[in-house]
Amino acid sequence: MSSCCQCGNVVPDPRQQQLAEVFKKYAGQKGALIPVLQGAQDIYSYLPAEVLKQIADALNLPFSKVYGVVTFYAQFHLKPRGRNIVRVCLGTACHVRGGAKIFETIRNELQIGDGETTADLRYTLESVACIGACGLAPVIMVNADTHGRLTPDKLKAILAQYE
Amino acid sequence: MSQVTLTINGQKVTVPAGSTVLDAARLLGLEIPTLCYDPMLSKPGACRMCIVEIPGMRNLPASCVTPVAEGMVVETHSEAVVEARKTIIELLLANHPNDCLTCERSGDCKLQQYAYEYGVREVGIQGEFHQYEIDESNPYILRDMNKCILCGKCVRVCAEIKGENVIDFAYRGFNTKIAPALDTKLAESACVYCNNCVSVCPVGALVDRRLAGKGRTWEVEQEPIICTFCEAGCNFNLLKKDGKVVGVAAAKAAPGRPMCLKGRLGLELIHNPNAAPAYLKKDGEFVEVPWAEALGLEGILAKLLEKGQKAE
Amino acid sequence: MSKVDKILICGGTGCISSGSGKLVNGLRAALAGAGLEIPVVLTGCHGFCEQGPLVIMEPQGVFYRRVQVEDAEEIIAKHIKGGEVVERLLYTEPTTGEAALTYKDVQFYAKQQRMVLKNCGHIDPENIQEYIAAGGYEGLAKVLKTMNGDQVVEEVKKSGLRGRGGGGFPTGIKWQSTRQAEGTKKYVVCNADEGDPGAFMDRSVLEGDPHAVIEGMLICGYAIGADEGYVYVRAEYPLAIKRLSIAIAQAEEAGYLGENIRGSGFNFRLKIKAGAGAFVCGEETALLNSIEGERGMPRPRPPFPAFKGLWQKPTTLNNVETFANVPVIFRNGADWYASLGTEKSKGTKVFALTGKVNNTGLAEVPMGITMRQIIFDIGGGIKDGKKFKAVQIGGPSGGCLPEELLDLSIDYDSLTAAGAMMGSGGLVVMDETTCMVDLARFFLNFTQKESCGKCIPCREGTKRMLEILQRITDGKGQQSDIETLERLAKVIKSTSLCGLGQTAPNPVLATLRYFRHEYVAHIEEGKCPAGVCTALLSYFIEPETCKGCGLCAKNCPVGAITGVVKEPYTIDTAKCIKCGVCITKCKFGSVQRR
C-alpha cells in the first residue's frame, strides 16, 4: 500500500493486487514456489525483499528457504533491472565465433559489467551460456529479440533501437 | 527384517537390509571419516569424505548413502580412496583460513583431525578463497563463514530438529554460503540462539561466543548435565577448567529437545560463578539485561510474596 | 513448374530472429494484394538455422533461404505467377558451388535420415490436425487398443532405444523399473532443460513437433501406470513453452489428454514447469528438486527416481528426443526400429552441428555413421577452407575427438571409449585456429559456474582446475600444472555426487589425451600454437610487405608502432597491448601475430 499526495487516502498498489492473484492461482499447489517467484518477478521486474517475505508467508515457507531458492537460480534478480535486458551469448558456438569480442564491445559501449545496470536503468547487461541459436553465432538477445551473425561494428545501432 | 552379509576390508559382517555401508563399517569398528553425516539428521551425501571402493561400481560411492547388498565387497581405505580423501581435504584447506593457532575449535575440529590423519600438510593447490566478514553481531554465536565447509549440518539441525529454519544454503557453486534470509547478520534474523547449530558444526565456523577464550578443548573437561527447567530435559555440557566451571555448552541435538537459550543461561547462572552477563534482543539490538529478565523470572519474587501474603 | 499450393516458412527461434515473423505477414499481405489464395504456414524449426529465414514452396519443395520480407513481391511475381525460380534465393552448396533447387537437393538434408525431425518444418506445430494427418497419435491408438503395460515395456526394450539426453541408459529398463516399483501414484517427467551450450535439438522438437513429445509421454504413462506428467522446460525457451502449451490444450480438447483417453479408461494429465536458469537442473534428481520448488541440488542415488522420484513417488524421466522416438517405434514396430543403427545403439541421433563448419544446424543420422560423414558430407566441410582440428562432442560433459578419429563409427559406447560422450549430441567443429587449452578452459568455466555447490570435489575442485587452466592460457603455467590437473580430474570424476561433477573434467582429460603438446607448448615454450591466447602472442610487422602507409601507427591506441612513411614500421612489443587493431587496419596483411 502506498499513499498518494497529501490527501491521506490510501490507494491500493496495483502490483499488490496482481501479486494476490498469483498467490490465488497457485494456492494449495505443490511445488508452487518457483512459479510464484516467476510471477512476482514478472510484476515487479525484480524481487524486492518485502515481496520475498510476502511470498514466504503466503506459501508458508521459511523465509531463509525462499532466499536460498532465489539466489540459486540465475533467472531471479534481487535488484532493479534495466528496461532493456541485453543478453550476450558466450556459449560454445558463439565463443568459437568471437562472442567474447561482442561482449567486450558492449561492455565498453554501456560502461557496465556483467550483471550490471546502467544508471539510467536503460540497459542491463548479462552474459549467458547458450540461448540455443548457435546457427546464428555470435548472437545477443535484447529483451525477446535475437540478433545474430554479429560483428562488433553492428552493436551500436542495435543497442540504439532500445529506449 | 531380512539380513544382508557383506565383506568390508576382508571381514564379513551381517546387518539388517536397508543399512548403509557406513553403518556396517562402523559395526565392525572401522573408522570412515565423515563431515556432513549425522545419524540424527537427513543424509545429503555431500561431503564425499566417506567414499569407499566397491568393485563393480563406476565411481567411489559415498558409504553414508549407499545401501548394503548381499555379497557386496567394500574397501574403506584402498589406494584410490585414500588418494581421493587426501585431495578432498586439500581442496577444503585451499579455501580455509590457516588459523588453527587461534581457532576456538583447534583440537576439536574434524578438518584438522583428518588433515592430521591423512597427512595433508601442504596445500599444493592455491587460488581464490572466500573473504567474508565475520559475523559478531550477537553475543551468543560467532559465525565465520570463511571456515565453513558447507556440510549443511547447521541448516539441517535448525530445520529438522529445531524447526526454526533460520538459515539455509544461499547462492550457488563456489559462492554457496549458509545464510539467514536476505543474507543478513544473524542478529537481524529470527535466530533464537539455541546453539544447536554450534553443537553440530565440525569446524570453527560456528563458535559459542560465551566460551571463546575460556580454554582449549584439551584443557577443558566436559561434564554432561541435563537441564531441568522444563520437562524437555535437554543435554548440555558443563565445561570445567582446573575443576572450575567456565561455561555451559549446548550438547547433543535431539528431536523434541529445544535446547533453549534460557536453559543454557540458567545452567550457567547456577554453575558458573563468573558467568558473563546475559543479553536479550530489544528493538532489534542486543542489550545487557538482569538475570531475572533473561530467565523470564522477572517479578517472580513479588508474585511469590503476593501469594504468601494471601495465604497468611 | 507445378502450381504452388502451400508455402512453408520456418518459425523456429533462429528463423524468427532472422525475420521470418515479418516475412509471414508481408507475404500473406502481398498474396492477398495479388488476389492469390495460397496458405502460408509458419512451421517449426528446419534445423538449418544459419540460412534462415527458410521458405519451402510446396508441393515441389523449392527451397529458398535467407528470405526477407522485401523478397515477397519477387517470389509472387516470378515464382508463383511466372513459374520461374528466384535463383538468387537458392542455396549454393559450399563444396560444389552448385545451387540446390529443392529441399531434397540440399546436401545438408539429403544425407540425413529424419525420423524424429520428420515433421519439424513440414507441419504447423500449432495445429494438432496436421500432426494427426502425418500419422500422429497412431502409435498411442495402437498401444491403447491392443497392448497392456508389460507389452509396451517389452516393445521399448526390443527396440533397443537408449536415453538421448546423456548417458544412454536403456529406456525400456527404466520404464520397467518404474512400472514394477511399489506405489499407485507414479509420474512421467520430460527433461527439456536442454542446457549444453551448442545443443538445440530438444528446442527444435518442442517448437516444431510438440505432439510427438506428448504422445511419447502418454505411451510411457500408460506403460508405467502413471496418470500425471511434467515437462520441465528451461525458461530460455519461451517459444517452445508457448507451442507446447498450445499443443497440450489441443490434445486435451481432442481427447488425447485428460480422463478416459480415447475411451480406453486411461487417464493422463500433463503440466509444464518452466526452469529458472540452472544448468544443473538437467541432472535428473536436481530437476526433480526444482519441480518441487527447491534449490536444484542433486540428490544421492540410490534411491533412483524410478523408485523414489518426484515427491518421493516412482518416476520415469526421459528427455525430449527420447520421448519423440517413442511414437516412431510404436508406429513402425520395434523390429523395424532395431534394424537401424549399430548393435548396441539403435535408431537415429540428432546432432547439433555448430562451430567452424559450412552448414550449421540439426542433423539427424543413423547411429554408427562416422564423424567424417557428418562434418564433411552434411556439414559441407570446414569454413573458409581451413583445416579441421577437432570436434567437441557432448558439450561440457563430453570430450574432443581429433582428426585420427574422424572415421570412428559413432555410438554411445565408441564415444565413451574415446574419452568423449554422446551427451545430448552437441557437435562443435574446431579448425586450426582453435586453441585446445582455451577450449578446455572455456568448458571448465561453464561447469564451474553451473556447479550447484553441494559436494566438495565439484564445488572446490572445478574452481581450482579452472584457475590452473586460466593460468596456463595467461602464459603463467607451471611445470606441475598438468599433473595437478590430472590428479584433480581423477578425483572429481570418481567422487562427485552427480553427473555434472563426474563429467566436468572430461574436456580437460580429452584435450590432454589428444592435444597434450598444446599444453606443453603453453607452459614450456610460452607459445599458443593456435595463436589464440593473447598473453602468449606478440605482434610484429613483416618488413618485406609493409608499404609504410602508417595506418597501423595512426590507429594504435598506445603508440606502440613507430616508423618513417614509406619505410617498414615496427612494433614495440613492450608497449603493445595486443588489441589487434593494427591487424584489422593493415591493407597489406603485413601485421602478423604469433
CA distances from B142 to B111, B136, C272, C279 (A): 19, 5, 44, 35
Q: Under an 8 A CB cutoff, do B168 and A62 touch? A: yes
Q: In the sheet where B3-8 sits, what is the strand order?
A: B11-16, B3-8, B73-74
What are the grid coordinates assigned to B224, written together?
Answer: 554432561
From A50's Cα to the closest Cα of chain C, the distance in A is 20
Q: Under an 8 A CB cutoff, do B48 and C496 touch? A: yes
Residue A72: list chain C partners with CB under 8 A. Answer: 278, 295-297, 452
**pLDDT of B92 over the 90 cut:** yes
d(CA C491, CA C459) in angstroms, rounded, equals: 12
Average model confidence (pLDDT) across chain B: 94
d(CA C177, CA C149) in angstroms, rounded, equals: 12
For residue range C275-306, what is the model confidence (pLDDT) as tens digits? Answer: 999 999 999 999 999 999 999 999 999 999 99
State the greatest distance between any 2 C-alpha atoms of chain C, in Å, as a whole number.
89
CA distances from C554 to A99, C114, C225, C561 (A): 27, 55, 74, 8
Contact C193, C230 (CB under 8 A): no
Q: Under an 8 A CB cutoff, do A63 and B170 touch? A: no
Contact C314, C340 (CB under 8 A): no
d(CA C132, CA C487) in angstroms, rounded, equals: 55
For residue C461, the chain B residue with the least C-alpha distance is: B91
Residues constituting chain B: 312
Judged by a CB distance cut-off of 8 A, whether residue A147 touches chain C is yes
For residue C481, the chain B residue with the least C-alpha distance is: B125
Mean pLDDT, residues A134-161: 87
What is the domain partition of chain A in residue ranges?
2-72, 84-160
Measured over the CA atoms of residue B103, residue B105, residue B107 and residue B113, the dihedral's sign is negative
What are the grid coordinates assigned to C76, written together?
Answer: 509472387
Judged by a CB distance cut-off of 8 A, whether residue A68 touches chain C is yes
Q: Under an 8 A CB cutoff, do B181 and A72 touch? A: no
Mutant choice from B150, B156, B165, B191 vs A, greatest count of A C-beta within 10 A:
B165
For residue A56, the chain B residue with the least C-alpha distance is: B181
**pLDDT of A3 over the 50 cut:** no
* Angle formed at CA C50 by CA C48 and CA C52, multiple of 5 degrees: 75
pLDDT value at residue A1 = 42
DSSP symbols for chain A: -EE-TTT-PEEPPHHHHHHHHHHHHHTT-TT-HHHHHHHHHHHHSS--HHHHHHHHHHHT--HHHHHHHHHHSTT--SS---SEEEEEE-SHHHHHTTHHHHHHHHHHHHT--TT-B-TTSSEEEEEES--S-GGG-S-EEETTEEE-S--GGGHHHHHHT--
State the greatest distance between any 2 C-alpha atoms of chain A, in Å, as a whole number.
61
For residue C532, the chain A residue with the least C-alpha distance is: A96
SS3 B109: coil
Instruction: Determine the straight-line distance between the first and last CA of chain B, rounded to whole angstroms.
Output: 65
Crossing angle of helices C436-450/C506-524, nearest 10°?
130
Q: Under an 8 A CB cutoff, do A75 and C16 touch? A: no
Of B83, B68, B56, B55, give the one whose Cα is nearest residue B14: B68
For residue range A107-132, what is the model confidence (pLDDT) as tens digits? Answer: 999 999 988 899 998 999 988 877 76
Of B88, A93, B266, give the one whose Cα is nearest residue C355: A93
Q: Give the nearest partner residue to C13 out of A33, A96, A146, using CB atoms.
A: A146
Q: Under an 8 A CB cutoff, do C467 and B127 touch? A: yes
DSSP state of B276: P
Residue B255: partners with Cβ closer than 8 Å, 6 or more residues away: B40, B161
Q: Which domains does chain B have, with CATH numbers?
A: 1-126 (3.10.20.740), 134-294 (3.30.70.20)
Contact C204, C117 (CB under 8 A): yes
Mean pLDDT, residues B140-149: 98
CA distances from A150 to B284, C494, C579 (A): 54, 41, 19
Look at the domain A84-160 and name its fold. Answer: Glutaredoxin (3.40.30)
* Angle formed at CA B120 by CA B8 and CA C450, multiple of 5 degrees: 85
CA distances from C468 to B130, C396, C455, C471, C472 (A): 18, 17, 20, 5, 6
What are the grid coordinates assigned to B35, written together?
Answer: 563431515
- Which pTM value belongs to this model? 0.91
Interface of A with B (CB under 8 A): 49, 52-53, 56, 62-68, 71-72
Quickly count: other Cβ atoms within 10 Å of residue B228's Cβ. Answer: 12
Q: CA C284: distance to chain centroid?
A: 19
Q: Which residue has the higher pLDDT, C390 or A12?
A: C390
C-alpha torsion angle, residues B250, B251, B256, B259 (rounded to 10): -10
Contact C350, C137 (CB under 8 A): no
Phi, psi of C74 (to 5 degrees): -65, -40
pLDDT tens digit at each of 594 positions of chain C: 678 999 999 998 788 878 899 999 999 999 999 999 999 999 988 889 889 899 999 999 999 999 999 999 999 999 999 999 999 999 999 888 899 999 999 999 999 999 999 999 999 999 999 999 999 999 999 999 999 999 999 999 999 999 998 789 999 999 999 999 999 999 999 999 998 877 889 999 999 999 999 999 999 999 999 999 999 999 889 899 999 999 999 999 999 999 999 999 999 999 999 999 999 999 999 999 999 999 999 999 999 999 999 999 999 999 999 999 999 999 999 999 999 999 999 999 999 998 899 998 999 999 999 999 999 999 999 998 999 999 999 989 999 999 999 999 999 999 989 988 898 899 999 999 999 999 999 999 999 999 999 999 999 999 999 999 999 999 999 999 999 999 999 999 999 999 999 999 999 999 999 999 999 999 999 999 998 888 898 888 999 999 999 999 988 877 889 999 999 999 998 888 776 778 888 999 999 887
pLDDT value at residue C195 = 84
What are the grid coordinates assigned to C402, written together?
Answer: 581429433
SS3 C348: strand
Q: Under an 8 A CB cutoff, do C197 and A72 touch? A: no
Q: Under an 8 A CB cutoff, do B59 and C494 touch? A: yes
SS3 B244: strand
Contact A19, A51 (CB under 8 A): yes
pLDDT value at residue B3 = 96
Q: Under an 8 A CB cutoff, do C497 and B150 touch? A: no
d(CA C328, CA B267) in angstroms, rounded, equals: 73
pLDDT value at residue A4 = 47
From B250's Cα to the closest Cα of chain C, the distance in A is 27
For residue B172, the chain A residue with the least C-alpha distance is: A72
Residue A8: partners with Cβ closer than 8 Å, 6 or more residues away: none
HSE, side-chain direction, 13 A CA sphere, residue B156: 19
Strands C426-431 and B141-143 come out as: unpaired
Of B62, B108, B114, give the one whose Cα is nearest residue B90: B114
Neighbours of chain C (3+ CB pairs under 8 A): A, B
Which class for C367: exposed (0-12), middle (13-18), buried (19 or more C-beta within 10 A)? buried
Mutant choice from C16, C196, C236 vs A, greatest count of A C-beta within 10 A:
C236
Of C119, C115, C120, give the one whose Cα is nearest residue C48: C120
Crossing angle of helices C506-524/C481-495, nearest 10°?
170
Judged by a CB distance cut-off of 8 A, whether residue C446 touches chain A is yes
CA distances from A68 to A49, B42, C45 (A): 13, 18, 37
Q: Which domains does chain C have, with CATH numbers?
A: 6-103 (3.40.30.10), 128-338 (3.40.50.11540), 348-431 (3.10.20.600), 436-524 (1.20.1440.230), 538-593 (3.30.70.20)
Which class for A132: exposed (0-12), middle (13-18), buried (19 or more C-beta within 10 A)? buried
Judged by a CB distance cut-off of 8 A, whether residue B150 touches chain C is yes
Mutant choice from C450, C494, C497 vs B, greatest count of B C-beta within 10 A:
C494
Of A83, A93, A85, give the one whose Cα is nearest residue A129: A93
pLDDT value at residue B310 = 67
Instruction: Determine the straight-line distance between the first and last CA of chain C, rounded to whole angstroms.
Output: 55
Q: Give the nearest partner residue to C459 out of B66, B83, B176, using CB atoms.
A: B176
From C507's Cα to the closest Cα of chain A, the distance in A is 12
For residue range B253-299, what is the model confidence (pLDDT) as tens digits? Answer: 888 888 999 999 999 999 999 999 999 999 989 999 999 999 988 77
The H-assigned helical ranges of C305-460 are 320-332, 334-338, 371-372, 412-417, 436-450, 456
Measured over the CA atoms of residue C468, residue C472, residue C478 and residue C482, the dihedral's sign is positive
- Which ipTM value was assigned to this complex? 0.94
d(CA C296, CA A73) in angstroms, rounded, equals: 8
Residue C195: list chain A partners with CB under 8 A. Answer: 129-130
Of A155, A99, A134, A97, give the one whose Cα is nearest residue C12: A134
pLDDT value at residue A6 = 56
Contact B69, B21 (CB under 8 A): no
**pLDDT of A11 over the 80 cut:** no
From A65's Cα to the closest Cα of chain B, the distance in A is 6
DSSP symbols for C455-475: SHIIIIIHHHHHHHHHHHHTT
